[in-house]
Amino acid sequence: MPKSQSKITLTILLLIVLSVLTNCAHTSINPEHQSIHEIVTKANSDFYLDKRIWYQNVHAEIEGQTITLKGEAFFSIPVRGIQRKLKKAGYEYELIDSVHYLPEDFTDDLAYGIVSVPYVMGRYKPVDKKQEGTEMLYGEPVRLIREKGDYVQVQSNIGYLGFIKKNTIRPVTLKEWSRYHTGAQAIFSQNVTLESGQVLAMGTRLPYLGNENILLADGTELSLPQDNYRVYDPTTNPLRDSIIESAEQYLGLPYVWGGRSSEGVDCSGFVMQSYALNNIYIPRDSDEIANIGRIIGYPGWMDAMLPGDMMFFAGSRRMVTHTALYMGDGKVIHSLGKGVQIQSMNPQDPDFSEGLTKRFIFAKRLFD
């Protein structure tokens, strides 16, 4: 190609590129679409502040008169809240929920795990170094979230999310997992090396089976003298009854936003005061309280819960919007609506609350 023709061709191409860039610069952003994205983004930021424990990362894809919500989330209630916010803002689009909900499904119902090494660092990304979250100790029960190569993301019993190597846990079913939550616990106050060479680090807690027998992380039982650990049985702690008795003193009081007095209480003020009357001081708001203690219950798994355990419920505005106290036998005492009341999560009870049951997301235990 002659040089003059090559220059002409190059000039034409440059003019075309310049024209495209100019048109893009002058193309205005669709204000309606921008508003939709802003609503979704704000909903994510309002969802929950502590991404070490839970997160929601939802975004909108808009095509014609259809909005498809995509991304990741742990609970559907706040996502449905996004849909309501969009409709309230006047966007009468078709809404499709294509969000990827966690935890993922695992084969053979092996969706839980028991840490099988003395300790392992949970990291926020599937890497061997940096990104440290929190360590998990031998025998600690964890919930599996998702697999990623040689790693699995888990949620520790204090709630922290972290990636660990697959070979550091024993995958188990819910039934086996429950054994590590219920009954008496042997808590080690010093490092102990077993005859097998297995190290039980200080702070390790394992199910105590009685007669100086403990349940190891591999599912086997071991006889070990009790001078190596202390035994706690949460079912016999009189503090539980005392907290529930304190809570029942508030029955009938009206719901008062920000209230903590005998004139009325809000949900977190009620839980806070029920504990404070027993010399246990916890944070003020529901989402702050949700950060303390260890997880002891999930939807569909309340077998390990005991009276006095704290319960948390999702809302459409953010994840944790309500807290209550568990009374046992599926019953819940809390401050909501008309005031402090007792309701049940057992469908057979006359005071069964379907709404409360659907909103329940987890329970935590602060003491043994």
Residues 6+ apart with CB under 8 A from 142: 112, 113, 114, 115, 136, 154, 155, 156, 157, 169
Q: What is the DSSP letter of 105?
A: P
The H-assigned helical ranges of the chain are: 3-26, 31-47, 76-88, 174-178, 238-248, 267-276, 286-289, 354-359
Q: Alpha-carbon distance 313 to 12, whole Å?
A: 63
Instruction: Give 195: exposed, middle or buried? Use CB within 10 Å, 0-12, 13-18, 19+.
Output: exposed
In the block, tokens 């990362």 appear at 57
What residues does 360 pair with on adjacent strands?
A: 313
Distance CA 7, CA 217 (A): 75
Beta bridge partners of 119: 137
CA distance 235 to 256: 33
Return the structure tokens found at 241.
């009854």
CA atoms within 13 A on the CB side of 233: 7
How far is residue 134's CA from residue 119's CA, in Å, rounded to a whole number?
10
CA distances from 76 to 19, 81, 136 (A): 45, 9, 28
Active site residues: 267, 322, 334
Residue 305 contacts by C-beta under 8 Å, 6 or more apart in sequence?
296, 297, 326, 328, 363
Give the C-alpha separation, 39 to 91, whole Å.
11
CB distance 311 to 332 below 8 Å: yes
